[in-house]
Amino acid sequence: MIGASKMIGASSTQTETIPKPDLSVQLGRLALKNPVLVASGTFGYAKEMAGVIPLPELGGILPKTITQNPRPGNAPWRTVETSAGLLNAIGLDNDGIDYFLANHWPYLKTAGTTIIVSIAGKSLDDFVLLAQRLSEAKGLEAVELNVSCPNVSGGVDFGTDAKLCYEVVRSVRKVLDCAIVTKLTPNVTRIVDIAKAARDGGTDAVSCINTVLGMAVDWRKRKPMLANVVGGLSGPAIKPIALRCVYQVATQVGVPVIGVGGIANMDDMMEFLIAGASAIQIGTANYYDPLVSIKLIRGLPDALASIGATTVREIVGTLKT
């Protein structure tokens, strides 16, 4: 009996000393507690979700993209469900930088996790002015440059031209000391070229990918279903495209990658990490399962253990080809 007691005690002690998995990741100068972020445009300004999920558990939050002036967005209809995702043409509906800094930023700073502020502009000057305003925001850790929204007219699509993308990133880098993430579009011939331009401009990481251009038609009325005619397709339908982009950028560019596009469960997230993403963003899945991000964070230690890993970092980019 004494021997049995000693064995039980030893076993208990041994169990207690098993190290907890390290979920932290590093994206250039940006450190995250875990690799699970919620994507801009799918999580409001975070306060709306505070009663639904524990915000401090998230690796980070990207609030709605901010522009220089308030935007009402595009005319309805602005969203259409597809058989494998969501087609949207919201048009960057937001409150503008002044209202954001005065009303949203004070709350976001108390969320208990990293906030990555998403900004978009119709011109290079817009991006610089927004960056200058954000440089005044105390506690700012990171900014995501939305150079790839497919639903806004009247400006330059900086994400489809390598030279223009470089100029935007370089100009913002001169203004901001915090981490910069550049969100790339898949609607190009070679996404690697755009990623290299962002890297050379000084980005800390790139997000792959924004939505894929698409449209929906009501054939009976002979009219497009979106008032904007075209919109951005997100959800499970674009996951293979996003995975391909992540893999190409991670293996050919040498810049940390955040995987975005169709991630809804543990298998999805692990596939992106293995393919080369250092972190991921949950987008469309937030709409039908607001708890998905928390489920992934809490399930990640077991997923890592199942392949003999104790850290997220050791599995990133380990795809065998």
Q: Are 144 and 123 a contacting pair, CB within 8 Å? A: no
The per-type count for the chain, helices as H runs and strands as E runs, is 10, 16
Task: Let me know if 149 is a catalytic residue.
Answer: yes
**What span, in angstroms and rounded, lies between the C-alpha atoms of 114 and 60?**
5
**What span, in angstroms and rounded, lies between the C-alpha atoms of 115 and 18?**
32
**What span, in angstroms and rounded, lies between the C-alpha atoms of 203 and 162?**
13
Host H or E run for residue 27: strand 25-27
Non-local (6+) Cβ contacts of 205 within 8 A are 27, 28, 30, 179, 180, 181, 182, 255, 256, 257, 258, 278, 279
**What span, in angstroms and rounded, lies between the C-alpha atoms of 206 and 260?**
10
- Out of 149, 178, 208, 245, the active site residue is 149
Return the amino acid letter for 206: V
* 6 SS3 class: helix
* 63 SS3 class: coil
Catalytic residue numbers read 149
